[in-house]
A and B are shown apart, each in its own frame.
Chain A
Amino acid sequence: MPIATMLEILLALGELINKLVVSARRSEEMTAEEWVRFKARADALLSGDAWRPEV
């Protein structure tokens, strides 16, 4: 695998680790506002190009 690709993947994994750490540290459920924000962000992600299946 080209080094540049490897580095991009490692950067993405690092970003994922940060997000999972933050989530794992939570000890109480999301507030209603946080839950709404989460769903809006999820909807935006899921409608992005990366999620579009091939026809």
Chain B
Amino acid sequence: MQTSRVAVVVVGVLLAVALGGCKSVAPGADAALLRAEQAVYAALETTNALVAIEREHEAELARLEPQAHAVAERIRTEFPPAYARAVAAIDAYRSARTEDAAVRMQAYIAALKELALLADGLLAKWGRGR
């Protein structure tokens, strides 16, 4: 189905941009904070779409992709604490914009990106109907 391929490509491209690609930053804006917030937002929305779809269609998707449930369960288990650490790091950076706080923020965001890319891989398969 051509439409689904387009949708999957668009999601992949947008996720790549949201997770750390190049984007415009308004004069005076904090680029590190903007990118961190966009990455957390994109990771949350992507993983949330994945777990919601998987829970709703678990049996059908398991027939399509036997590992789907294990991946979804990994995301259900690992994402919430990783998200909490990333948000705490962003809160800390918002309070004191130091180099150390920026480095910590980026490190925790990296863990979220990994889980978001895992979710994106499965969504791409499902969007193509396989």
Q: Chain A: interface residue count, which band?
A: 35 or more
CB distance from B77 to the nearest CB of A (A): 5
Q: Does B106 contact A (CB under 8 A)?
A: no
Q: Does B66 contact A (CB under 8 A)?
A: no
A26 to B25, CA, bound (A): 8
Q: Chain B: interface residue count, which band?
A: 35 or more
- Nearest-CB residue, chain B, relative to A21: B14
Q: Are A50 and B7 in contact (CB under 8 A)?
A: no
A22 to B73, CA, bound (A): 28
Q: Are A13 and B73 in contact (CB under 8 A)?
A: no
- Nearest-CB residue, chain B, relative to A15: B49
CB distance from B36 to the nearest CB of A (A): 8
A15 to B118, CA, bound (A): 19
Q: A13-B8, A13-B11, A27-B26 are in contact. Are A38 and B3 (CB under 8 A)?
A: no
- Nearest-CB residue, chain A, relative to B39: A23
The 14 listed contacts between A and B (C-beta, < 8 Å) are: A1-B126, A6-B4, A8-B57, A13-B4, A19-B41, A19-B45, A23-B42, A23-B45, A28-B25, A42-B44, A42-B83, A50-B52, A51-B48, A53-B73
